[in-house]
Amino acid sequence: MMQSLAGDLSGSDIPGLEFVLKEWLEIDLDEVFRRFAHLTPDRAVSRGTGDTRFLFLSGTRQDRVALIAHADTVWDGMLGYPGRVSYQDGVYTSLNPEIGLGADDHSGCAMVWALRDLGHSFLILAGEEKGCLAGRWLADCNPDILDELNQHQFMVEFDRRGSRDFKCYDVGSDAFRAYIESQIGYAEPDRQSGTDVRILARRICGVNLSVGFYEEHSPNESLVYADWAHTHQTVRRWLQQPHLPRFERSALPQTPMSR
């Protein structure tokens, strides 16, 4: 496996891992895609351009789960982004007082990378901050990938603020929500808004999990390492179990997604 500047995030209790995570906050969208593409260049499916770009790699497990994150941030294209990141007392912040951290959602990309050894599939998308453009293009124009995604056991996206929250929006079921709570102990505050998983989960259930960022889309955005590491450790214990169940969603139509 290729040695990346991103290092090895396979265990969130590794000494110095917080500084490896810091690197993921100091790279741009193109570098995020490059790192994932170079893992298995013979199997990775890369399509689209600009805001419709996505990269998909099918996992090796029979009971595989689709792990999802988006590589774009609201700061892409602004002078000075990505910039230097401060890490003090377990909290990451931007050193630029006018441009935020971009932890929404480079912290999610780092999470998917950290779980890459479990044999699950992963999907990295662009254009989420502009209305899930890559997710919508995948769903509308790439039926082969959409069909394969919906043959997984379920989908997990890492694009939720805060700590120990989950959201299924309208792509969950009562059984799936109970399963999430039993496996990781997180709570669902409401079912409002949405992200890529809400576009892509057509036949199976999906969930979005907290990855420790706060005050996203503002220069004051922060990422709390302990919250990120807790999700990583919790999800790793959960998804490394054998015989993960499949959760199909109901045939109810989706309601419009507010942002």
At 201 the pLDDT is 98
At 130 the pLDDT is 97
CB atoms within 10 A of CB 259: 10
At 251 the pLDDT is 52
At 72 the pLDDT is 98
All structural domains of the chain with their residue ranges: 17-155+213-239
Nearest residue to 96 via CA among 75, 122, 117: 75
Torsion angle, alpha carbons of 32, 197, 233, 22, to 10? 30
Q: What contacts 228, CB < 8 A, 6 or more positions away? A: 12, 21, 107, 110, 111, 211, 212
At 9 the pLDDT is 52
Mean pLDDT (the chain, rounded): 91
98-117 per-residue burial string, b: 16 or more CB within 10 A, e: under 16 = ebbbbbbbbbbbbbbbbbbe
pTM to 2 decimals?
Answer: 0.91
Dihedrals φ, ψ of 86, to 5°?
A: -95, 140
> Can you tell me the distance from the alpha carbon of 137 to that of 48, in angstroms, rounded to the nearest whole number?
8
- Ranges of the chain whose pLDDT falls below 70: 1-16, 251-259
Tokens 């789960």: give the residue.
Answer: 65
Looking at 3.40.50.300, 3.40.630.10, 3.30.565.10, 3.90.1300.10, the CATH number of the domain 17-155+213-239 comes to 3.40.630.10
At 126 the pLDDT is 98
> Can you tell me the distance from the alpha carbon of 206 to that of 89, in angstroms, rounded to the nearest whole number?
34
> Can you tell me the distance from the alpha carbon of 47 to that of 63, in angstroms, rounded to the nearest whole number?
25
CB atoms within 10 A of CB 224: 20
